[in-house]
Structure 1
Amino acid sequence: MARIFITGSTDGLGRATARTLLDQGHDVVVHARSTGRLASVRDLLDRGALGAVGDLSDIEETRGVADQVNRAGPLDAVVHNAGVLGGAHVFQVNVVAPYLLTTLIQRPRRLIYLSSGMHHGGSADLAGIDRDGAAARVSYSDSKLYVTALALVVARLWPDVLSNAVDPGWVPTKMGGPNAPDDLRLGHLTQAWLAVSEDPEALTSGGYWHHQRRQQAHRSAYDERLQTELLDQLARITGERLT
């Protein structure tokens, strides 16, 4: 039985991942942006899931989420599922928060970062990241390229951790919209599988996955110079360095 923390788990892919892992008998820590939002996973809490609350668009609240998770005890895996499609907080939620949680949460055995097929259209230019981390010129596609690079650099720097990125597909969630063509069930199974499976393929690191098949990410995601520059920017913004 594993213990897994899933960010953004009040609906969509995060909730589906949490429910699947609970069904399999694992311990799950769910996450909500606010106490009010936590009420939407009352059914999961009633089944034994623990809850953590904090707005990932805010650095201090993200620190608070890490504190709550660490106080609850060590984890086997973290699924960095939370994400936003647009608005002023794309970079903060999609990139800064997973980076900060990675640096602050007691190191688990496995890390899974939610990417997107749209990362192939992202720009490797980091000039859009402002000194305060607002990054108003960073698009959704950019942010998913950066978080894919983050997953791959963690795999390189932490050989004792299985770190992977997942493209869940364009699925009918609140973010994806009701007309999204992909299968919601398949959209969440890969991250659940990577979090707990003892399948030899799931015990690999540095992968970019879609529907349990390893694929090729944007070539820039593998660029060690970009990875290093990204880590430097994120360390400057958060005051925390990944070592």
Structure 2
Amino acid sequence: MARIFITGSTDGLGRAAARTLMNEGHQVVLHARSQERASSLSDLASNAAGVVIGDLSSAVETRALAVQVNGLGRMDAVIHNAGVYLEPVRGMTPEGHARILAVNVLAPYLLTALMERPDRLIYLSSGMHHGGSGSLRDLDWTERSWNAIQAYSESKLHVTALALAVARHWPDVKSNAVDPGWVPTRMGGAGAPDDLEMGHLTQTWLAVSGAPAATVSGGYWHHRKQQTPAAEALDPGFQDQLIDRLADLTGTALF
């Protein structure tokens, strides 16, 4: 029986992964952005190993979240599931632009740096990461005109590179990135064409399975099959430059 922490587990892929792992007898720590959002976990909370609260768009709350999880004991696996996609809106502020970076990249980076090191780490990527830019100069879109698709794609390129950097620097940890597909979640929309069940079963498999295929590190996965990620994500130079930028932005070193 493993202990797994899943970010963004109030709905969608995170909730589905939590339910699957709990049904298999594992201890799952659930996460909600707020107390209000935590109310949607009432059907799962009684069988969970804990429920932690924190808004991943806030560095202060993300740091506090790491403290909460560490207080529950070391996790065997962490699934960095939480993510956001922001539609372009008139008058969007720089703070709104920065939210996609904060939730999709800075939060998993900070939690990785601040939580007790687990045996396995799984980071949610997307096939859209192939369309991300290799530039690391304007990560929070303070200088460029906002492009929601490009910003999301870049964030997923960066979290994929983060997963592979962790695999390279921490050989004792199995770290992988997963493309769940375009699935019908609140973010993906009801018309999304991919399979929601297959969208979360790769994460749960990588988190707890003892099968040789699942006990590897440094992979990029889709539906339990390894795929080839973008060239930048595989490049150790790009990985290390990204880690340096994230360390500067957060004031927290990872390696």
TM-score range normalised by the length of the shorter chain: over 0.9
Using the TM superposition, give the Cα deviation of residue 96 of structure 1 relative to its aligned residue in structure 2, in angstroms.
0.3
Residues of 2 paired with 1:31 and 1:218: CA distance? 30
Residues of 2 paired with 1:12 and 1:48: CA distance? 17
Letter in 2 for 1:118: M
Residues of 2 paired with 1:202 and 1:136: CA distance? 38
Asked if residue 129 in structure 1 is aligned to residue 125 in structure 2, the reply is no
Letter in 2 for 1:120: H
1:6/1:79 contact within 8 Å kept: yes
Equivalent residue for 1:161? 173
Letter in 2 for 1:183: D
Asked if residue 145 in structure 1 is aligned to residue 157 in structure 2, the reply is yes
Q: How many residues align?
A: 241
Residues of 1 paired with 2:141 and 2:247: CA distance? 11
Percent identity (aligned): 62
Residues of 2 paired with 1:129 and 1:166: CA distance? 22
1:128/1:136 contact within 8 Å kept: no
Equivalent residue for 2:207? 195
1:145/1:218 contact within 8 Å kept: yes
For residue 74 of structure 1, give the secondary structure of its aligned residue in structure 2: coil
Q: 1:114 aligns with which of 84, 100, 124?
A: 124
Equivalent residue for 2:219? 207
Using the TM superposition, give the Cα deviation of residue 49 of structure 1 relative to its aligned residue in structure 2, in angstroms.
3.6
Asked if residue 37 in structure 1 is aligned to residue 47 in structure 2, the reply is no
* Counterpart mapping for 1:96-115 below 5 A: 96-115=106-125
Equivalent residue for 1:84? 84
Letter in 2 for 1:101: L
Using the TM superposition, give the Cα deviation of residue 128 of structure 1 relative to its aligned residue in structure 2, in angstroms.
1.5
2:101/2:140 contact within 8 Å kept: no
Using the TM superposition, give the Cα deviation of residue 102 of structure 1 relative to its aligned residue in structure 2, in angstroms.
0.1
Residues of 2 paired with 1:164 and 1:199: CA distance? 15
Asked if residue 186 in structure 1 is aligned to residue 198 in structure 2, the reply is yes
| Cα deviation code 1:35-89 (max 9, x no counterpart) | 1101101111112341010000000100011000000001100000000012521
Residues of 1 paired with 2:199 and 2:170: CA distance? 27
Residues of 2 paired with 1:178 and 1:48: CA distance? 28
Residues of 1 paired with 2:47 and 2:119: CA distance? 24
Using the TM superposition, give the Cα deviation of residue 131 of structure 1 relative to its aligned residue in structure 2, in angstroms.
10
| Cα deviation code 1:208-236 (max 9, x no counterpart) | 00000011001110111111111111111
Gaps in structure 1 of 5+ consecutive residues = none
* Counterpart mapping for 1:2-17 below 5 A: 2-17=2-17
**RMSD over equivalenced CA pairs, Å:** 1.5
Following TM superposition, the consecutive aligned residue runs of length 4 or more in structure 1 with deviations greater than 4 angstroms are: 135-138
1:131/1:237 contact within 8 Å kept: no
Residues of 2 paired with 1:231 and 1:197: CA distance? 29
For residue 169 of structure 1, give the secondary structure of its aligned residue in structure 2: coil
Asked if residue 216 in structure 1 is aligned to residue 228 in structure 2, the reply is yes
Residues of 2 paired with 1:96 and 1:136: CA distance? 19
